[in-house]
Amino acid sequence: MKSILITLLQRNCIKKILIVLLFTFLITGCSDYLDVESTHVASEDKQWESLTDTRSALMGVYGLFRAAAANENAHWVYGELRKGDFKSSNRTDIKAVINNDLNSSYNMLHDLSDWRRFYAVINAASVFIENAPRVNEEDERYSDSNLELDIAQARALRAFAYFYMSRIWGDVPLITSSFDNGSFDEKPRTDQQQVLNFAENELLEAANTLPYIYGGGEAQYYGEGQEFWSGVLINKISAYAILAHLSAWKGNYIDADVYSEFIMNNYEQANIGRSSTAELSSSTGLFAGRSSDHIVAFNFMDSNGESTTTGHIEDLTLAEPFTARPVPDIYVPKDYINEIFDHGYDHRFGIDTVSQTHTTNYFTNFNGEFPVFSKIKVQSDGQTEGSYALYGSTLIFTRLEEIILLRAEILAVLSRQEEAVSELNSIRNERGLPSFVIGESGDLLDAVFEERRRELLGEGWRWYDQIRHQRLKKNDSEMVELIEEDGIYWPISSKVLRNNSLINQNDYWQ
C-alpha cells in the first residue's frame, strides 16, 4: 500500500489517488483493517510535507466513511430492515435483524455491532485536523484558504460519523483527538445529547467555511473542476442537511426548521435539483455515478474501477432478470407493496382498478413469488447487463426530495400546517398522487411519514423514520416500548467490551 501511494503521489494524479484510497478501503475487510491500524492512511509523520499529502489523507477520510457505511451492506441493514418493509427469502441472519433479534450468533450481526469502523473515520479526521497545518508551513502551494476548507471537511465528516453512530448505539465515547495504532485509551460512553451537541457545533463551524460548489469557474480545487467534485465532497448544503436531521433526531424541531429552511433557500446555489421517477429508477439515473443532486453521498465510479459485488443494496435485492440469482435475499411482499403504494397512478408503482399493473418503476416481477425491488439497479456503469453481479450504485444518504419531506415533517410538528402541506404536495404531485387536503385527507404527520415510506424505500430511512414518528405520535405500543427501553439501539460488540472495561453493554441487550 505504501509503495503504491508513493508512486501515485510522485505522479501527482488525483484520479488514481481516489481509485486506490477509496476502493482499497472498501475491498479490505473493515474489521481486519481495524485490527491492524485505523490510521495508516494518515499517521506517518513524513506524510505531512506537501499538497499531495493533504489531498490523499483527506480522500482517505472519505474512503473510510464509505467503507464503514457499505461494509456488510451496513447502511441498509441498520436503516432499512428492522421492523421494515423488506422480508428475507432465505437468510436467517437477515431475518434476525428484521425481527430485532440482534443478539443472535451470526457473523454479520457481530460485525455490525462493532463501532470501530466509525472510530477509524473519526481518528483519520482528527489526524488530518491536527497535522494538515504542518503542510501549510512546508508547502507554499497549500494556502491558508485551502487549509481551512480541508479542515472544515474533516470536521464535518467527523461530526457526521458521530451522528451516524448515535442513531445506531445511542451513547458512544466522544473522542476529539487522534489515537495511535487503531486503539484508544479506555473511555466511557458519553451521553448521546452531549455527543450530538458536539457534532452540531462542529457542523456549524464547518458550514461557515464550506462552499456551495468546489472547483467552480477558474477556481479549481486540487487541480480539478466542478464536474469532477460534484456529489463527491461535503459542501455547505450537505452540512445543513446533516444538521437538520441531527436536530430532528434530538427532537429540536425549532433548530431543524432553521437548518432546513436554509437548504430550501439556497440549494440552487449548489446546482441541486429534483429527480423524476424515471431518474430514480433508471440504471443510469440518480443512483449512478456523481451528481450535484447527491446532497450527501458516497459514490462508486465504475470508470475508476470501484464497482464491487458487495456494499450496495443490489447485493440484497436483485435477482432474475437482472442477475443469474433466482431469488433475492430480501424482497417486499406483494401485500406490503399494495399497502404502501395504494394509489393506482403512483409513478413509482401503481395498480389500476382491475388489478392490472399500471406503473412498475420500483418493482419487477410483481406477480412472482418474490417481487424484485428494482428501483436501484446500477450494474457496473449502469449500462452493462449480464449475470455477473458487479454493482456501481451510489450510496445516497440524502437528496432534495428527502429534505423536502423532512421539511414537511418539521413544519407539521411546529403546527405550520399549510406550509407543511405545500411541501408534502410538491412530492405527491410530482409522483402522480392527488394533493393532501387539510381536514379531508387524514392526519398530516401520518401522511408525511407515509410519503417518506413510499419515496425513500430502499434508501436506509425506514427504521429511523419509525422512531421519529413514534416519538411524536406514540400510537404503536411495540415501537414506543422499544424507544423507552433503548431497544432501538444495537448491542455493542463483544470485541469492544473486551477491549474497554469502562464500556457496558446496552441495558436492553444484557
Kindly report the number of other CB atoms within 10 A of residue 338's CB atom: 13
Q: Tell me, yes or no, if the pTM score tops 0.85.
A: yes
Residue 383 binned pLDDT confidence (cut-offs 50, 70, 90):
confident
Can you say how many angstroms the Cα of residue 71 is from the centroid of all Cα atoms in its chain? 12
pLDDT above 50: residue 6: no
Cell numbers representing residue 431 in the block: 409522483
Q: To 5 degrees, how large is the angle CA 36–CA 94–CA 191? A: 60
Q: To 5 degrees, how large is the angle CA 51–CA 55–CA 61? A: 145
**pLDDT tens digit sequence for 203-235:** 999 999 999 999 988 789 999 999 999 999 999
Distance (Å, rounded) from C-alpha 179 to C-alpha 189? 17
Task: Give pLDDT, residue 44.
Answer: 55
Enter the DSSP assignment of 440.
T
Percent pLDDT > 70 in the chain is 88
Residue 41 binned pLDDT confidence (cut-offs 50, 70, 90):
very low
pLDDT above 90: residue 53: yes
Cell numbers representing residue 32 in the block: 481486519
- As a three-state string, the secondary structure of 367-397 is CCCCCEECCCCCECCCCCCCCCCCECECEEE
Distance (Å, rounded) from C-alpha 18 to C-alpha 67? 14
Task: Give pLDDT, residue 351.
Answer: 81
pLDDT above 90: residue 385: no
**pLDDT tens digit sequence for 290-338:** 999 999 999 998 888 888 989 999 999 999 999 989 999 999 999 999 9
Grid cell 446546482 — which residue? 271
**pLDDT tens digit sequence for 243-280:** 999 999 999 999 999 999 999 999 999 999 999 999 99
> How many angstroms separate the Cα of 111 from the Cα of each of 83, 105, 117, 160, 400?
20, 11, 10, 21, 32
Task: Give pLDDT, residue 20.
Answer: 38
Task: Give pLDDT, residue 36.
Answer: 32
pLDDT above 50: residue 178: yes
Distance (Å, rounded) from C-alpha 495 to C-alpha 186? 13
Distance (Å, rounded) from C-alpha 404 to C-alpha 463? 19
Please check whether residue 64 is in contact with residue 121, taking contact to mean a CB–CB distance below 8 angstroms: yes
Q: Which domains does the chain have, with CATH numbers?
A: 399-473 (1.25.40.900)
pLDDT above 50: residue 45: yes
**pLDDT tens digit sequence for 66-94:** 999 999 999 999 999 999 999 999 999 99
Q: What value does the mean pLDDT of the chain take? A: 89
Q: To 5 degrees, how large is the angle CA 284–CA 288–CA 289? A: 125
Please check whether residue 398 is in contact with residue 241, taking contact to mean a CB–CB distance below 8 angstroms: yes
